Amino acid sequence: MDNSHVPQHNISTYAHNKKAIYATDNNGDYTIVASSGWDVEEEATRQALTELERLAADAFVRVLTGEMSPLYFHMYNRRMDLQVLAESTGLFKWRIRRHFRPRIFARLAARMLARYADALGLSTGDLGRLPPAGCSDD
């Protein structure tokens, strides 16, 4: 790629950062060009982020209606899925799935709650409830 063709699309998913791209100058010599992003990459990242947001929003509703425990929402809100949560906590998937049931979650021991809270980077208090404003990134 010619360095005049390195995209500088100021893409939203870079949040004002730049990535280093390798491209050739007029003499055909390779140099590093700081790029503000390619809209092709933005499309793909945005698609992935939208999917994660969709999963968190769905989970929010399912917790709100009492179908699932707050753990289910916090997992998706931290951009995890069952596999990642199982790996992060060292728990079997089937155990976590049980803890998605509100009545079982409500009876969990403090130690188990602390394990989830640690993996999700939350206080045990926050783990037990939905955030007031719905899903957020942070």
Partner 1 sequence: MTDSGYSHGHAAHCESGVMSLMMRHHGLQLSEAMAFGLSGALMFAYLPFVKLGGMPLIAYRRMPRAIIKGLQKNLGIKMKMQTFSRPAQGTDRLDALLAAGKVVGAQTSVFWLPYFPAEMRFHFNAHNLIVYGKQAGEYLISDPVFEAPVRCLAADLQKARFVKGVMAPKGLLYYPLSVPATIDYAAIIPGIIKKNARAMLKTPVPIAGIRGIRALARAIGRLGQQELRYAKLFLGHIVRMQEEIGTGGAGFRFIYASFLQEAGRLINNPRLAEASELMTAVGDQWREFALLLAKAIRGKKSQIIDFAALQAKLEDIAEAEAAVYRKLLAEL
Binding residue for partner 1, selected from 94, 95, 121, 123, defined by CB under 8 A: 121
Q: Which stretch binds partner 1 (CB under 8 A): 66-74, 83-91, 98-106, 122-130?
A: 83-91
User: Is residue 20 close enough to count as binding partner 1 by CB under 8 A?
Assistant: yes
For the chain, the farthest-separated pair of C-alpha atoms sits apart, in whole angstroms, at 69
Strands (E), the chain: 19-24, 30-35
**Overall size of the chain counted in residues:** 138
Q: Which two tokens stand for residue 91?
A: 């728990």
Check binding of 18 to partner 1 (CB under 8 A).
yes
Specify whether the backbone of 36 is left (phi greater than 0), alpha (psi in -120 to 50) or beta: alpha
- Can you tell me which of 24, 57, 101, 126 binds partner 1, judged by CB under 8 A? 24
Q: Which of 19, 113, 119 is nearest to 70 (CA)?
A: 113
Q: Which residues bind partner 1 (CB under 8 A)?
A: 1, 6, 12-24, 28-30, 32, 34, 38-41, 43-45, 47-49, 51, 78-81, 83-84, 87-90, 119, 121, 137-138
